[in-house]
Structure 1
Amino acid sequence: MHIMKAIRIKLWQDLVNYKKPTSFQLKETYPLPPYSTVIGMVHTMCGFTSYHPMEISIQGKYFSKVNDLYTRYEFKNGMKYEKSRHQLEVGEYGVGRGIATAELLVDLELLLHIVPDDQSLVEEIAQAFEVPQEYPSLGRREDIATIQEVKIVSLEKNVRFKKNISVEPGYGAYIPAKDVEEGLIIFGQDDDGVVGRRNALGTRYLLTSTYELINRGTAKAPKMFRNWQKIDTFYATDISVSAMKIYSKDEDDKLVFIRMKKD
């Protein structure tokens, strides 16, 4: 068992889109923010100018989904303006303007655990969320987040549970796929309300986490691309970890879904 400190944050958002990178005509959203989105928010709130390694646990729920129209601008590199083709002229280049649809989550609640590798940063991160220097957003820049609670908690990693522990009612979570494959997670409930072991009932995602810049050009003409590290996860709701299983939780018996590390 390892004891560490974590920052637990509860926040709420009215309407939000966590865009799936492969969606275009309909800007689809993930059910919860990917790891990279949360990591980016933490670094922005703290004013970090370099990457600070951290582990993130993401849980939450939303009331419903709606579709909303937005203005989309399209242009092709080097395409000259043509009056019959383009709606806008920018310099000598043409830009098309039209409408597209974005999928939005409604009335979203999030429960985040932030576990920095450098434990000396715990107080600094907590302070950045308790007294933000600018309005916090998560997702699009306009997706304002209302912070409801910030608490520094003790995190017990790889501890043997003495009782069954479940997520909040109705909550979903991103679970490392390896934990699901090793049978650490219980999915769903039996009809009589007793938690029971079932097959994995969730959606599998490869979620972006961190990246490194790769030069695919030359030293004289660099072309930098982000090479993303991705985490294999399941998204599922109404999940538990049973007694006698080894997993992670905080001091208030809130499950923490970070990758298990063997002693």
Structure 2
Amino acid sequence: MKAIKVKLWQDLVNYKKPTSFQLKETYPLPPFSTVIGMIHNLCQYDTYHEMKVSIQGKYFSKTNDLATRYEFKNGMKYDAKRHQLKVGDYGISRGVSTTELLVDVELVLHIIPKDQSIVTEIYDAFLHPWEYPSLGRREDIAVIKQVKIVEVEKQVLSKDKRLGKNCGAYVPIEWVENRNVLFKNRQQGISDLGTRYLLTRNYELVNYGTKKNPKVFRKWNKQEVYYATYLSAPRKSQVYIDNDENDQNIVFIV
């Protein structure tokens, strides 16, 4: 099957965890929904195109940044002792929050659309983007270092294959359970030294109200994966590999 292989670089970036507020924590790599959303934006799709993605990469370090935080409660009147801002008759509190940032991020993405006829379309969208691409927050600009079309196929490895130095990836749970991917460091009683995440992938709109009084919310489909570094695929294991002669990668299809 054909895939679009994209190498990106970002300076400072936050892939926000949805349950973090006062300290806006970041995932170590962008979740699937963030990558799929960027692809749909660059291709200017207004309907969902099903696709699988492989996400791997690394960052140099982490740092924290300060941001202004605004809070308000629906219907709360302005109180000079409580609120810093007044909008009409209502009050807004203004304070400080902290954002966790990854520094010097390098990503390798493999995009495999279910409809293989749009491979060239996605490739062209990355080659000639209609606006600057961002991944994470709106201000987290992504620099496209390389984009190419590759073939991806399942192979039985004749020798061990390791991920690049300090490089991490989102690995499908079944790959770990079947021992197609191994973790370099192990401790007694603990064989899988990775972080287990339940990441958003795509959503469908569901009406939890009535036809007369609709209340439409996003119902997210989620994918359980491991995130780990120092990964290797042992000899005789079956994994997906791209055919990039200059820089062949394992493709963690999710």
- Deviation readout 1:171-227 (Å, 9 max, x if unpaired): 00000112111111121169xxxxxxx821110000110111111111111111111
Correspondences of 1:107-186 after superposition (within 5 Å): 107-156=104-153, 158-186=154-182
Point out where structure 2 has 5 or more consecutive residues left out of the alignment.
none
The answer as to whether partners of 2:185 and 2:193 remain within 8 angstroms in 1 is: no
Partner of 2:22: 25
TM-score by length of 2: 0.94
Is the counterpart of residue 212 in structure 1 residue 208 in structure 2?
A: no
Q: Assess if the C-alpha contact under 8 Å between 2:70 and 2:94 holds in 1.
A: yes
Deviates more, 1:244-253 or 1:107-116: 244-253
Q: Mapping of 1:55-66 within 5 angstroms?
A: 55-66=52-63
Structure 2 distance, partners of 1:44, 1:94, is 35
Q: What is the alpha-carbon distance in structure 1 between the residues aligned to residue 65 and residue 25 of structure 2?
A: 11
Q: Which structure 1 residue ranges, 4+ long, deviate > 6 Å from structure 2?
A: none
Deviations 1:97-116 (A, max 9, x none): 11100000000000000000
2:221 equivalent to 1:224: no
Q: Which residue of 1 aligns with 2:3?
A: 6
Would the alpha carbon gap of residues 189 and 216 (structure 1) be closer, same or farther in structure 2, given more than 3 Å must change?
A: closer
- Offset of residue 139 of structure 1: 0.3
The alpha-carbon deviation at position 90 of structure 1 amounts to 2.2
**Most deviating of 162-171 and 243-252:** 162-171
Deviation string 1:34-57 (CA, Å, 9 cap, x unpaired) is: 000000000001100010000010
- The Cα RMSD (Å) is 1.4
Q: Which runs of 5+ in 1 are unaligned?
A: 191-197
* AA partner of residue 106 (structure 1): V
AA at the equivalent of 1:245: S
Helix, strand or coil for the counterpart of 2:46? coil
Q: Which moved more, 1:250-259 or 1:63-72?
A: 250-259
Question: 1:243, CA displacement in angstroms?
Answer: 2.1
TM-score (norm 1): 0.91
1-structure distance, mates of 2:152, 2:129: 24
Q: For the residues of structure 2 that align with 1:90 and 1:250, how far apart are their CA atoms?
A: 56
Q: Identity percentage over the alignment?
A: 60
